[in-house]
Amino acid sequence: MSMEPIVTVAREKAKVKNAAWSDTGKDHFLSSLEKFRSGMNGQWSGLRRDAASRVRELGFPTSKHEEWKYTNLLPVLTTAFHINTDISDVTAADIRSLLPTGKDTELLVFVNGVFHETLSTLNTGKEVIAGNLAAFHTSENVNRHLSRYAPVSTEPFVALNTAFLSDGAFIYIPEEKRYDRPLHILHLNDGRKMPSMSHPRNLIVAGKGVSANITESYHSLGTHTSFTNVVTEVILSENASLELTRVQTENRLSSHISFTEVRMDRDTQFRTNTITLDGNFVRNNLHIVMDGTNGSAILNGLYIADKNQVIDNHTLVDHASPNCFSKELYKGILDDKAQGVFNGKIFVRQDAQKTNAYQSNKNILLSNDAVINTKPQLEIFADDVKCSHGATAGQLDEEALFYLRSRGIGLEEARVFLNIAFAAEVIRSVSNESLREYLMRIAKMKLRKEI
């Protein structure tokens, strides 16, 4: 079933309201693209060319744009990032320090968007594929799905990613395979030598009845700024079940824009955890289309930010079929001058009767200067539905703080206790135990200002 895109960033409108769009950054990205393209193989040249012309037509949104109004893109658009494809500097030790996985995990490592084969420990059987996209560019599944779903014509950063399309993770699990080992896709942006950008592209295809657990994690190194602009497309066939966790622990010089497009067929279950523990600027777009009946989507998010961090989560759950269930919980802890943005849209189409959709965004503001801009948007066109949403912003409970202190626990540690208790509701929903423990540890470090 094909659907009109819901998030409209239509250029037509923009022509009237020009202030929402600007050409800033376009020239730099397009000239980088020229250089980059000369080193590319022939695959996907059509996709790249079309996307590049879309970038040229669209430009980039300004803070006058409704979907980008709290988010200043200028630092990203005015930095002269390079694409550094020399990844020989990155060692196993670099990766090990970042690696939040257990021993049984299969690992795909990408550095600056380039596949690092020797650091990857994947072990692909005959049927299951977990490798890099470029190596499978002739695969039927890649051709059928790649760039079919992410809105390249309306979303400028999806267009930009597609214009630079070269590699990323490709995971394909055929029909009725239960894939027990967790798969981990690790993206590292290496800013040790120069300001570095990468545009990784991930494609995940789960066949009928498949069950799998996949993690994407994003990291950066070095004292130069870095920019990661990733697109992940996820296809769940009938009866498939997938848990997809995104971990973001890039450093304070990093900007990150992600677009995740998920297509759910009938009787599928999708659970996603988006956990942002570091990074200077992060914008996540999560777009889930429930294309078949009886789907279940659970969206969990956690962001912990301090100093001048900006963490922006835009989610859209598109109930396009009847009898589907979605439940969304995003929690944030913001300190100092950190800014959070939560924009959660639930769209219930006319045919999507018996929809159950719940959304909640809860925030703790630890300082007077911290800000959360939260905006739930429900658009309901069916009449037999149950939908709810809620948003809160508050401080730590003084009574609870006093109680902990009266037992000998110091003020700072008592704060960490209460913050962790708040965050744990989200972290607990990560089913991979070693990953959960890693997240708990990093969250505590973040709350103790050790990172």
Partner 1 sequence: MKTPILEIRNLQTGVEGKQILNGLSLSVNAGEVHAIMGPNGSGKSTLASVLAGKAEYEVTGGDVKFFGESLLEMSPEDRARKGLFLAFQYPVEIPGVSNANFLKTAVNEIRKSKGLQPMDSKEFLLFMKEKMKIVEMDKNMTQRSVNEGFSGGEKKRNEVFQMAMLEPQLGILDETDSGLDIDALRIVANGVNALRGPERSFLVITHYQRLLDYIVPDYVHVLYKGRIVRSGGKELALELEEKGYDWIRNETENVKV
d(CA 286, CA 316): 6
The encoded tokens of residue 405 equal 């202190």
Please state the closest distance from residue 275 (CB atom) to partner 1, in A. 16
Task: By CB under 8 A, name the one of 123, 402, 441, 448 that touches partner 1.
Answer: 402
Compute the distance between CA of residue 300 and CA of residue 327 in angstroms, rounded to an integer: 8
Which letter does DSSP use for residue 76 in this model? H
Of 136 and 417, which CB lies nearer to partner 1 in the complex structure? 417
The rounded Cα 436 to chain-centroid distance in angstroms is 18
CB of 401 to partner 1, least distance (A): 9
In DSSP terms, 281 is beta-bridged to: 255, 310
403 binds partner 1 (CB under 8 A): yes
Residues 45, 413, 431, 441: which binds partner 1 (CB under 8 A)?
413
The one-letter amino acid at 233: E
Stretch that binds partner 1, among 89-97, 114-122, 301-309, 411-419 (CB under 8 A): 411-419
User: Least Å distance between CB 442 and partner 1?
Assistant: 18
Q: Does residue 88 bind partner 1 (CB under 8 A)?
A: no
Q: What is the 3-state secondary structure (H, E, C) of 133-177?
A: HHHHCCCHHHHHHCCCCCCCCCCHHHHHHHHCCCCCEEEEECCCC
Question: DSSP string of 237-298?
Answer: -TT-EEEEEEEEE--TTEEEEEEEEEEE-TT-EEEEEEEEEE-SEEEEEEEEEE-STT-EEE
Q: Which of 42, 46, 125, 408 binds partner 1 (CB under 8 A)?
A: 408
Is 433 near partner 1 (CB under 8 A)? no
Residue 326 β-bridge partners: 297, 357
> Is residue 366 involved in binding partner 1 (CB under 8 A)?
no
Size of site (CB under 8 A) for partner 1: 23
Instruction: Note whether 410 binds partner 1 by CB under 8 A.
Output: yes
State how far the Cα of 45 lies from the Cα of 212, in Å rounded to an integer.
32
Q: Applying CB under 8 A, which of residues 4, 180, 384, 399 lies at the interface with partner 1?
A: 399
Closest alpha carbon to 215 in 173, 241, 256, 243 = 243
382 lines the binding site for partner 1 (CB under 8 A): no
End-to-end CA distance of the chain: 46
For residue 40, count other CB atoms closer than 10 A to its CB.
15
C-beta of 248: minimal distance to partner 1 in Å? 23
Stretch of residues binding partner 1 (CB under 8 A), selected from 41-49, 197-205, 369-377, 413-421: 413-421
Binding residue for partner 1, selected from 329, 424, 440, 445, defined by CB under 8 A = 424
CB of 403 to partner 1, least distance (A): 4
The window from 184-192, 286-294, 410-418, 430-438 that contacts partner 1 (CB under 8 A) reads 410-418
Under the binding rule (CB under 8 A), the answer on residue 96 touching partner 1 is: no
Q: Which of 27, 379, 425, 433 binds partner 1 (CB under 8 A)?
A: 425
C-beta separation of 156 from 9 below 8 A: yes
In 3-state terms, what secondary structure has residue 300?
strand
Residue 331 Cβ vs partner 1, minimum distance, rounded to whole Å = 11
Q: Which residues contribute to the site for partner 1 (CB under 8 A)?
A: 397-400, 402-411, 413-414, 417-418, 420-422, 424-425
